[in-house]
Structure 1
Amino acid sequence: MNNHPTFTPSTPTPLEYSLFSPSKAAEQQRLQEDWTYIHSFLRQIYPPPAKVPKFEENEETLKALLALANANEKADEGWSVFCAVERLGVEELEREEETQTLTKDRNTSILTTLHTSLSNSVSLNLTSHAKTAVILNSTATSPTTLATSILTLSSNISSLQHQLSTLETLTTTLTLQTCFLDSELKTLTSPSFKAEKSLPQKTLETLRQTKLLKAKIGEYDQRLLRNSSSSSIPEALLSSVESARAEVERLQKRVRGVEDGISVYEGVAPEPREVRRQMQELRRELEGWVERRDELFESMVAGRR
């Protein structure tokens, strides 16, 4: 909406100002050009039949609309550059696709011509050579490289076979050891190897009697030394000493028998559950070696293929 101020006859009009001030005239002309540019810009934003919204035409509105128009113009320029770059990229891709198509057709034609010009034997040899390179997974196709790859593969197969043989031997040994340990476990857990409940008490009693008899032997030895000067030793004393010595020997033999019976359990866990756990660990170790053997065998078979 245009607001045109009214001037009284005593007030100078803008035209009178412009007649007397060239700078004012230039300012008025600049404002007129700016508003003309703004109206043109708004007509582009709101093309017919849309209507331009009404607003107050003042200096602040003019500055805001000029800034908006400049920003829009810069955005249009950026978009134009982007569209131009995109168009150039599409054209470049189209040219590249055409070049690739021509190259592919040319290569296909060359391969077809080469294939038809080869004899059957040469074609068969070339096919075998290519298949060998593919099987060996070799990027190079020279005979020297393929021969080296074949020798390396043969060496690897031989090494794997040796490792497989070693693992089979180890597996057999572990199996035998497991069977032996199973048998030993059954024997050790049988009722005949179970210790009597009263064995600790009997052992303590035997040790106590042994100590007492040793003390008596010492006492008898002292008595013998004291009576060694006499010409005759009482028969009762000799009989008592002899019986005591025999009793000591009998008890010592019994102690050795008890110690031998206890030594059988040396190195064996006191609980059957612990013995079973050790056997399970050995079985798991054996299963691990068997799985390792199977993996090596499968990799060797895959390498032969």
Structure 2
Amino acid sequence: MAHLPPNTAIFSPSVARAAASVAKDWSFVDSWLHTKFHSVGRSPPPFERNADTLRVLLALASANETADEERLLVSRLEATALQELQSQDQARQHRDSKDEDATPTASDAREAILASVRDNLSREGTAALDAMAVLAVNLGLAFATPANLGRRMTDLAGHLNELEQTEARVQVLARYLEGEVRKAGQLADELREDGYRPANDLAKQNLEAQRRIKSIAARLPDLREKAAALAGSVGTSGLSIEQVRREEEAYLALLTQKKELDTQVKLFQGLPHDTDQARQELENLRDDLRCITQRRDAVFEGLVERETPRKPTRRS
């Protein structure tokens, strides 16, 4: 209800309830700001008293109260732990005062040093020491120095990266194999269908192919001897990369010229093979072209005459 003036009368019950709720929220926000910032007699300016600002301030106040409660619980736990440590320290001092006459051993001194270090560690130090101990146990390190732990963690990160890349390549290969298997299955299903029938002369074609293969295989030794003799007579010792490049450029130029000639030849497709008949058909096409051109010119002149405005004639 920030858009209404303060002195505006509200006759709707629902609007009145909403206005009361907003006023209650603003009262809570003002009191919270006063307790946190000690702003006596100060409140947010009127242009800031809108729904968005109220929503943000309510969320901030709720989060602040939650954080205060958590901080209070932590402080209480720390106080309780401190009392327990003090009581344990007093009991240990009392026990040590009774055993003053006993001769201390190296094991007792070590335990005392470790206990003193453990008791004087902060909460963050204890958490860090526990984390290093768990990490050393998991990595199997007998002497867990920060350098060794960092080195092993770096090695593990590199190995993990390699495994991730290998997994990605394997997944790509697996997808490709799945696609090929699917295509092979589809082809097998098509071959098993009743609609597929091999060609009637398939056996004859197979025999003919085998006959041609045997004929070519029989001629292969003779062709090899001829190729060897030709290579010996011609020789390839003078052949260089520059010559191959020039031959390739000449071949590409001839190929381009062939394509241009094919394009020109395609223009004459459909003409008779006889020269006289071809000339006669060409003349007929030229006559048709002249007629079409004359008709186009006549139509164009008619359009020009029709669209040209005529000047009115003057009467004498």
Larger Rg: 1
Confirm or deny a common fold (TM above 0.5).
Answer: no
The structure with higher relative contact order (CA 8 Å, sep 6+) is 1
TM-score with structure 2 length normalisation? Answer: 0.28
TM-score with structure 1 length normalisation? Answer: 0.29
